Structure 1
């Protein structure tokens, strides 16, 4: 009976190991977000520490010359698990830094606005699903909630959920 159980565990482990898909060493592309996010972000992924762990860095910026300028850099550590074939799901955690320079319309007086310049830090989580095509293309859909802190302006949101579609070239 013990031999049968050990054989079953070995067979299951072998099956899981053969279905595991390794992620590409590098991926570069765009992450198209919405909501309180930064719209399109330049995104880079780098495999680290094993077959299914990676770092992701995203650089986003927004510019409305009449109202504000903003830039944000996010870094996340992600764990990737294979679902089937080219389908993977992943989860991660990280954080980032950003800056916003904006005009506050509440203080309009004879065309003189009050301006503020804020640097902020944030913590972020990440969960998503991706498909790794046979060609070097990776497409993903993810959810990233962010919690901001260390800013003096109460008008900046402390919680910012973001849903995004990612398209990346793998190399």
Structure 2
């Protein structure tokens, strides 16, 4: 049996032509759908947020931050030029955990976050606690609840191996320190 050859027409649309036509159609109709709004977030200016004492750089879209995070919705001036160290850069020294901020970024862009599999239970609990504190600071109730749910699931899944050994003590100590670090000096 002979194989059929695919026919290619020079007038065939490419994906980008289709996307451009689709976007233009929404503009003309005066309606904007979820997909178009989603893509428009990535066309917004970016800001570089330097986090923690090491000033770890995170490059984020301003519109994504404002649309997903109440902190940035209520403080649009935070992203304004007056707050920037250099053109497009903010040094955010109040956020000390780069790891927690990276999980926040992953959540804002993908609606989920993950921890490296190499983390011990104690380290994972510590990370979830730092993320919970960051989510509280950023007024993100959904992220706070997700951090609590993941921590609860982690502790339940490991309860048979945790309790009764020193690992459980380490997890509790790290949780306690992470939650109360900021309240000690106030």
* TM-score (ref. length: structure 1): 0.29
Please identify the structure whose Cα radius of gyration is greater.
2
Higher strand proportion (structure 1 or 2): 1
Larger relative contact order (Cα-Cα within 8 Å, sequence gap ≥ 6): 1
